[in-house]
Amino acid sequence: MMMRTPVTCLLETKDKLGEGCFWDAATQCLWWLDLIVPSAIHRLHPASGAYRRWQFDEHVTAMAKRRDGTILVGSHRGLNILDPETGALRSWVDIDPETPGNRGNDGACDAKGRFWFGTMMNNIGPHGEDVAITAPTGKLFRIDADGTATVMETGVGVSNGPCWSPDGKTFYFTDSMAQVIWAYDFDVDSGTIANRRVLNDTKDHGYPDGATVDAQGCVWSARWEGACVLRIDPKGRIDRVVPMPARRVTNVCFGGAKLDTLYVTTARAHLPEEELRKRPLQGGIFCFDPKVTGFEKHAFAG
């Protein structure tokens, strides 16, 4: 069902490739990033408008908060720790060094604080230009608190959208290149996945990108090239289509004091001038009222 939901642009950050959003309930701050070098991590306190930005010379791709106030940052080559007080980004764990043509992409923590981090064939050139993905060389890793990385899935085109059902028994994972959102049985105690099946593989709304789950168990899927966000029910049916003022919609997360706001990242890199004139806010950070509550993303256990 198409819904003309009012959408607000919080900041016109003109992100080349906005991604990695999460809400920190303790500080009531929204975090997100701009992936392409010179990359950036953004932090916004929506209630006051207080905003801070850190810049880096490596692609940063995904984030999760840590319990000590620092931030786990997935990057091109692996995992890092950001100290928000100093802005220092410290390398921690290399991921997938045996596949040097790959880079990191999306990630999120499960209820036990393990970080699920996907890789993909690198599609970004040394000057930020697009590079063709020629093979599904991506993998899905589970990173435990001690930094141990375990391969959980292979043969992935573009890793995206790790998230879990409210009861923790279903894991969702997106391969954007294949245009499919997968569902798996999830064992929270062992951190294992099984019984992969298709949740949704529609080709009518662009490519599925980042995702999150609401309190009713529906998946909210950002749609790259689809200019919208989809709400997909647990049976894989499209429940709502929320149009967005950006063609390349990249990630979503719940936030706000009552976790009743959906925040949305977007991208503007490599879009033609005509498209940028048509949708000048592309690359900004947006929000809307989804008429349902969600969850704060879990913190990393390490």
pLDDT at residue 127, rounded to an integer: 87
In a domain, 299, yes or no: no
Give Cα 234 to chain centroid, integer Å. 20
Average pLDDT rounded to a whole number, residues 292-298? 98
Report yes or no on 296 lying in a domain.
no
Residue 250 has pLDDT above 80, yes or no: yes
Cβ contacts of 128 within 8 Å, gap of 6 or more? 16, 36, 37, 269
Q: Is the pLDDT of residue 2 over 80?
A: no
Asked, for residue 16, whether it belongs to a domain, the answer is: yes
Is 175 among the catalytic positions?
Answer: no
Per-residue pLDDT reduced to its tens digit, 19-57: 999 999 999 999 999 999 999 999 999 999 999 999 999
User: Is pLDDT at 67 greater than 70 in this prediction?
Assistant: yes
- Asked, for residue 99, whether it belongs to a domain, the answer is yes
- Written in H, E and C, the secondary structure of 74-89 is EECCEEEEEECCCCEE
Structural domain span for residue 77: 7-288
302 falls within a domain: no
Q: Considering the chain, what is the average pLDDT of its residues? A: 97
By the 10 Å C-beta count (0-12 exposed, 13-18 middle, 19+ buried), 233 is classed as middle
- pLDDT of 3 reads 67
**Could you say which of 209, 214, 233, 289 is catalytic?**
209
| Tens digits of residue pLDDT in 266-289 | 999 999 999 999 999 999 999 999
Q: Is the pLDDT of residue 154 over 80?
A: yes
Residues of the chain above pLDDT 70, percent? 99
- Residue 129 pLDDT class (50, 70, 90 cuts): very high
pLDDT at 4: 79
What's the confidence (pLDDT) of residue 299? 98
Q: What tokens were used for 52?
A: 């801070």
Whether the pLDDT of residue 228 is over 70: the answer is yes
54 domain-assigned: yes
pLDDT exceeds 90 at position 61: yes
Q: Look up the CATH number of the domain holding residue 256.
A: 2.120.10.30
Q: How far apart are CA 172 and CA 195, in angstroms?
A: 12
Residue 293 forms part of a structural domain: no
Question: Residue 1 above 80 pLDDT?
Answer: no
**What domain count does the chain have?**
1
**Statement: residue 217 has pLDDT above 70:** yes
* Residue 19 lies inside a defined structural domain of this protein: yes
Question: Does the pLDDT at position 183 exceed 90?
Answer: yes
- Segment 252-258 shows an average pLDDT of 98
- Picking from 28, 104, 35, 24, the residue whose alpha carbon sits closest to that of residue 265 is 35
Work out the percent of the chain whose per-residue pLDDT is above 90. Answer: 97
